[in-house]
């Protein structure tokens, strides 16, 4: 998913040489051989909240789940066609292994990396992705409330692909952040409900593979800009957000360590405050194809990289199949209400759930749950994910592995 150049046949040739190791991985390998939703019953039902003075319900904790890149390569599209029994596409079985984790959260967000094609196709993987819109239905039925849609593939099919994607997510009942069809839509923060809390999701990408923003639409995709991110976070707070989540498509592909830009921007964003209160409450990173560490910086959790949630067999920059491209984590943060009005909602529990996309089965696997059922072959990827996630000392700040 390295940037695509803007001009000419020669530039395209360079792209094909440099990008193949990233988003192209599954396709090379194949050639060579779900309106804001209320808190769920699994979270903090209103009926169970204690009554505050005057009869109002007192705010209670809520859980936020976030997961990595949904990247339908050609092999993933073929799997969805097979799962539909020859009529259309059904992505729901692929997500079934993590549905309990996602649906039991009060709020769940994903990263929809690709754009959708027209109803009926054609659909494509690398290099310019056009995914079946049935993906949106699967996201909703898995339990996702909102998805970040800012990535280097957001303009793979121009303004039309962007519009179709947001239309399909709207139709499925999944909110979105990071790309927009109108200037007014771009100016509004995505606000979501989690129990009594209002959560804003903001999203940004490092690039659009060299595709220029559509003529007259400079607001179509949010690009990473520190000042803009801070300004947007402050605007979201003024719009009523108790918690501000920033989703960022960043980092260096195939590198488990956060790069200098991630570290520098992460420090700056988590240091930003208004009236002594942090402007951003959690940062969720995507793009690198491999799991990256979690770290608490300036009192705020950063997930540098979730890894891929859905992707085909991946080929790395050495031209080799690399199973890390199917490893990932799901972040789960429990936010507790502030002791005093206007103070920060605090993360009182931080967890990661290791997951793996088994390309042989065409299914996302909750690794700890599978191992508990006796599937010991998943022990090695589970342990590899845990090592990376904890590599920057997150355990000392309370991060634990969950199921």
Average pLDDT rounded to a whole number, residues 317-339: 96
What pLDDT sits at residue 342?
86
Q: How far apart are CA 87 and CA 223, in angstroms?
A: 38
Q: Closest Cα to residue 191, out of 141, 232, 248, 152?
A: 232
pLDDT digits (tens, 9 = 90+) for 139-159: 999 999 999 999 999 999 999
Tell whether 22 is covered by a domain: yes
**What mean pLDDT, rounded, does the chain reach?**
89
Task: Tell me what percent of the residues of the chain surpass a pLDDT of 90.
Answer: 84
Beta strands 243-249 and 282-286 are parallel
| Cα-to-chain-centroid distance, residue 293 | 15
Residue 3 falls inside a structural domain: no
User: What is the Cα–Cα distance from 167 to 378, expressed in whole angstroms?
Assistant: 37
Average pLDDT over residues 2-21: 37
Report the range of poorest mean pLDDT among 38-47, 134-143, 231-240, 332-341.
38-47
User: How many CB atoms sit inside 10 A of residue 303's CB?
Assistant: 29
Whether the per-residue pLDDT at 2 is higher than 50: the answer is no
Is position 1 within any domain? Answer: no
Q: Is the pTM of this model over 0.75?
A: yes
Asked if residue 25 belongs to a domain, the reply is yes
Q: Which single residue is written with the structure tokens 């209002």?
A: 198
Task: Report if residue 2 sits inside a domain.
Answer: no
pLDDT digits 0-9 by tens, 295-307: 999 999 999 999 9
CB contact set of 285 (below 8 Å; sequence gap of 6+): 247, 248, 249, 250, 251, 258, 262, 292, 302, 303, 304, 305, 306
Query: What is the pLDDT averaged over residues 380-388?
Result: 98
Write out pLDDT tens, residues 105-122.
999 999 999 999 999 999
Q: What is the pLDDT of residue 41?
A: 37
254: domain CATH number is: 3.60.21.10
pLDDT digit string, tens, across residues 313-326: 999 999 999 999 99
CA distance 306 to 290: 7
- What percentage of the chain reaches a pLDDT higher than 70? 86
Per-residue pLDDT band for 35 (boundaries 50, 70, 90) equals very low
Q: How confident is the model at residue 337 (pLDDT cuts 50, 70, 90)?
A: very high
* pLDDT confidence tier of residue 6, bands split at 50, 70 and 90: very low
Quote the pLDDT of residue 280: 98
pLDDT at res. 86: 83
- pLDDT digit string, tens, across residues 238-283: 999 999 999 999 999 999 999 999 999 999 999 999 999 999 999 9
Around Cβ 149, how many Cβ atoms within 10 Å?
29
Task: Provide the residue range defining the domain that includes 179.
Answer: 8-401
Q: Give pLDDT, residue 397.
A: 98
Which residues face 240 on adjacent strands?
Answer: none
pLDDT band at 4 (very low <50, low <70, confident <90, very high): very low
What pLDDT shows up at residue 341?
A: 87
Tell me if 244 is assigned to some domain: yes
> Is the model's pLDDT at 34 over the cut of 50?
no
| 171-226 pLDDT, tens digit each | 999 999 999 999 999 999 999 999 999 999 999 999 999 999 999 999 999 999 99
The CA distance from 32 to 269, in Å, is 43
Model pLDDT, residue 365: 98
Number of domains in the chain: 1
The set of residues, in sequence order, having a beta carbon less than 8 Å from that of 202 and lying 6+ positions away, is 177, 178, 189, 190, 222, 229, 232, 233, 236, 244, 245, 246, 247
At 9 the pLDDT is 36
Residue 48 has pLDDT above 80, yes or no: no
Asked, for residue 352, whether it belongs to a domain, the answer is: yes
**pLDDT band (50, 70, 90) for residue 30:** very low
Residue 32, pLDDT above cutoff 90? no
399-401 and 346-358 as β-strands: parallel, antiparallel, unpaired?
Answer: parallel
């Amino acid at each position: 998913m390295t940037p695509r150049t803007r001009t000419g046949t020669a530039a395209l040739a360079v792209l094909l040489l440099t990008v193949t190791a990233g988003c192209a991985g599954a396709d090379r390998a194949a050639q060579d051989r779900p309106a804001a939703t209320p808190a769920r019953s699994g979270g903090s039902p209103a009926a169970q909240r204690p009554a505050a003075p005057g009869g109002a319900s007192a705010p209670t904790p809520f859980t936020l789940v976030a997961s990595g890149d949904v990247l339908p390569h050609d092999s993933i599209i073929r799997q969805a066609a097979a799962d539909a029994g020859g009529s259309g596409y059904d992505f729901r079985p692929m997500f079934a292994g993590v549905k309990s984790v996602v649906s039991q959260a009060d709020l769940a967000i994903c990263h929809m990396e690709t754009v959708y094609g027209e109803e009926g196709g054609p659909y494509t993987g690398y290099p310019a992705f056009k995914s079946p819109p049935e993906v949106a239905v699967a996201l909703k039925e898995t339990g996702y409330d909102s998805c970040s849609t800012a990535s280097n593939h957001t303009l793979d099919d121009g303004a039309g692909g962007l519009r179709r994607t947001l239309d399909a997510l709207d139709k499925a009942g999944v909110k979105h952040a990071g790309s927009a069809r109108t200037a007014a839509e771009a100016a509004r923060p995505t606000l979501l409900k989690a129990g009594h809390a209002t959560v804003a999701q903001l999203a940004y990408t490092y690039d659009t593979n060299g595709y220029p923003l559509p003529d007259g639409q400079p607001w179509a995709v949010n690009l990473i800009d520190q000042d803009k991110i801070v300004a947007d976070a402050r605007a979201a707070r003024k719009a009523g957000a108790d918690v501000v989540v920033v989703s960022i498509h960043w980092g260096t592909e195939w590198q488990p360590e956060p790069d200098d830009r991630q570290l520098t921007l992460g420090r700056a964003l988590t240091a930003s405050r208004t009236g002594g209160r942090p402007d951003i409450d959690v940062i969720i990173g995507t793009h690198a194809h491999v799991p990256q560490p979690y770290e608490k910086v300036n009192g705020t959790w950063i997930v540098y990289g979730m890894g891929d949630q859905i992707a085909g067999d991946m080929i790395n920059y050495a031209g080799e199949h690399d199973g890390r491209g199917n490893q990932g984590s799901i972040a789960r943060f429990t936010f507790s209400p502030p002791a005093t009005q206007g103070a920060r909602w605090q993360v009182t529990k931080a967890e990661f759930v290791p997951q793996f996309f088994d390309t042989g089965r065409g299914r996302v696997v909750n690794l700890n749950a599978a191992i508990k059922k006796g599937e010991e072959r998943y022990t090695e990827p589970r342990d590899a994910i845990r090592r990376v996630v904890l590599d920057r000392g997150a355990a000392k700040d309370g991060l634990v592995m969950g199921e």
